[in-house]
């Protein structure tokens, strides 16, 4: 009999990781369990954006919340949520669709006997409190604790995040399951002539690729200052950037960066393409000489995971999540040391040719089927455990 899993929609332009997580998980589940499970996608409202590469995997899309505010059931529902964190209306919707398990990001309500799997992206506010206001930290702590208490099981992406969870809420550490995400690479990425992506965006053939959102903790400034150091020494390195240009917590971060770029006279070394189709991201990874991630903190480095799955070397910050990922062709650097980064950037620039790394791509493509299978099996093992917990 098919298991019915309802997934709350995650992700938006400012935070593509939620889309990426669901898309790759759905692909892995279909790859291994087609016909044995049914995927439902839950929306907070019917106008919510859904990328086509997520929509293709879903059996049905459901609007999760009844918005008839004067309906007696809605009044009772609001009261139950406030007093007992019990979501009556949503539970009825889930039961109407015979849902076996609910999955979503930090779900802080109960739904009767339906088991809840809550996904925590990271505990960044604990490690980088300077990036948050006191109110934001308070709100995060509150919802993290409530989610830990109410969820049947908790899914984290790294053992490092497990240690954070155990420190934060040791009482519920027995609920934690660590599943390392993977990135599934379409065959079309390898079929493309890489000249097409270079010509499309009028790029130089040789460049370093930095595909991170422009959030302050992603640490672009260290990279840009490293380029200034290199330019002052007569070395010109080109960095291509993509990603969302805003940071709600630090709204002036992006314009401040570009002011510094002008002051440091490195405008001709940084190419910003904005938000681009995800397949183009993967093609730029293939064409680049390396993928760069200078982030100060990650729950799991998607930039690193995508480079690993494509088959590209990485130059990445020496932080716990990146160490745990440990991709096959990696150079680490202190994310607060532009001098060290400049030296390693220069070395890779001089020693590496642009375009596909044939040997590393072969290794990655050979490993992908087993990695996808293991990921899907691990997730379904957690699903079955959650169902058994509620019996």
The DSSP annotation for 36-47 comes to TEEEEEEESSTT
Same fold, 3-178+370-389 and 187-356: yes
Containing H/E element for 366? helix 358-389
Q: Where are the domains of the chain?
A: 3-178+370-389, 187-356
Which residues of the chain have a pLDDT value below 50?
none
In this predicted structure, what is the pLDDT of residue 16?
81
In this predicted structure, what is the pLDDT of residue 55?
86
Q: Residues 120, 126, 131, 137: is their CA dihedral positive or negative?
A: positive
In this predicted structure, what is the pLDDT of residue 69?
52
Beta-bridge partner residues of 103: 7, 117
3-178+370-389 — its CATH code?
A: 3.40.50.2000
For domain 187-356, is the CATH number 3.40.50.2000?
yes
> Which is nearest to 210 in space by CA: 300, 290, 266, 268?
290
In this predicted structure, what is the pLDDT of residue 252?
94
72: three-class secondary structure by DSSP: helix
In this predicted structure, what is the pLDDT of residue 31?
87
CB 336 within 8 A of CB 222: yes
Query: In the numeric block, which tokens belong to residue 28?
Result: 């892995």
Containing H/E element for 321? helix 320-325
Quote the pTM value: 0.92
CB 261 within 8 A of CB 219: no
Containing H/E element for 4? strand 3-8
In this predicted structure, what is the pLDDT of residue 46?
61
Each residue's pLDDT tens digit, 333-371: 999 999 999 999 999 999 999 999 999 999 999 999 999
Mean pLDDT of the chain: 92
Each residue's pLDDT tens digit, 301-342: 899 999 999 999 999 999 999 999 999 999 999 999 999 999
């Amino acid at each position: 009999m098919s298991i019915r899993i309802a997934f709350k929609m995650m992700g938006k332009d400012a935070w593509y990781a939620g889309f990426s997580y669901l898309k790759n998980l759905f692909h892995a589940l279909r790859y291994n369990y087609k016909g044995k499970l049914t995927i439902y996608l839950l929306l907070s409202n019917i106008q919510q954006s859904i990328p086509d590469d997520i929509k293709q995997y879903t059996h049905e899309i459901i609007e999760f919340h009844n918005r008839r505010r004067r309906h007696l059931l809605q009044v009772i529902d609001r009261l139950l949520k406030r007093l007992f964190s019990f979501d009556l209306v949503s539970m009825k919707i889930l039961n109407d669709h015979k849902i076996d398990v609910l999955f979503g990001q930090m779900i802080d309500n109960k739904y009767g006997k339906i088991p809840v799997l809550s996904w925590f992206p990271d505990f960044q506010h604990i490690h980088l409190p300077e990036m948050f206001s006191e109110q934001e930290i308070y709100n995060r702590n509150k919802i993290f604790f409530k989610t830990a208490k109410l969820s049947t099981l908790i899914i984290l992406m790294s053992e490092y995040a497990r240690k954070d969870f155990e420190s934060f809420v040791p009482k519920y550490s027995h609920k934690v399951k660590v599943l390392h995400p993977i990135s599934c690479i379409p065959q079309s990425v390898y079929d493309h002539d890489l000249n097409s992506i270079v010509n499309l965006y009028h790029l130089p053939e040789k460049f370093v690729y930095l595909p991170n959102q422009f959030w302050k903790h992603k640490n672009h400034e260290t990279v840009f200052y490293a380029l200034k150091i290199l330019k002052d020494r007569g070395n010109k390195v080109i960095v291509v950037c993509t990603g969302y240009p805003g940071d709600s917590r630090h709204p002036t971060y992006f314009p401040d960066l570009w002011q510094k770029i002008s002051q440091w006279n490195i405008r001709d070394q940084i190419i910003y393409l904005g938000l681009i189709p995800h397949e183009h991201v993967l093609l730029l990874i293939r064409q680049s000489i390396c993928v760069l991630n200078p982030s100060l903190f990650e729950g799991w480095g998607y930039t690193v995971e995508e480079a690993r799955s494509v088959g590209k070397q990485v130059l990445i910050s020496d932080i716990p999540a990146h160490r745990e990922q440990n991709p096959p062709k990696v150079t680490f650097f202190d994310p607060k040391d532009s001098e060290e980064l400049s030296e390693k950037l220069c070395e890779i620039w001089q020693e590496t040719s642009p375009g596909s790394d044939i040997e590393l791509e072969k290794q990655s493509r050979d490993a992908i089927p087993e990695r996808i299978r293991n990921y899907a099996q691990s997730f379904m093992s957690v699903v079955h455990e959650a169902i058994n917990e509620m019996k």
